Amino acid sequence: MEHFTKEEAAFLLGETVICKKTLTETHPDLDLSLVLFAKGDKSDVVLIEHHPDIEGIYVSLLVDGDYLPLHKEAFHRHCLLLQPVEASHAHSVEPVASFG
């Protein structure tokens, strides 16, 4: 599993992403699959995490009021970084290539 460097995580903090591939959590024992981040939804990177008992640095998105921690591989698989567009719409964004 690949993790973020401090510099990569700091670069992402405060940035907006769009989900390019739905992220789900499956619970086979309950025959249940939960959508954590749906394709097309947008979110901001709001937190950088490093826990002593977990190797590596994670970034967390704020999705529907909950924190969603992602390691680098999951971030690149499910997220596309958005970039503000200089235009008449202050809230316009367009996709940029994912880094990494």
Percentage of the chain lying above the pLDDT 70 cut? 83
Q: Is the dihedral of CA 43, 93, 49, 99 positive or negative?
A: positive
Could you write out the DSSP letters of every residue in 34-75?
A: EEEE-TT-EEEEEEEE--TTS-SBEEEEEETTEEEEE-HHHH
Q: How long a stretch of residues is the chain?
A: 100
Residue spans per domain, the chain: 6-95
For 6-95, CATH number? 2.30.30
What is the model's pLDDT at position 88? 47
Return the closest-CA partner of residue 12 out of 38, 43, 40.
43
pLDDT tens digit sequence for 16-60 = 999 999 999 998 888 889 999 999 999 999 999 987 777 789 999
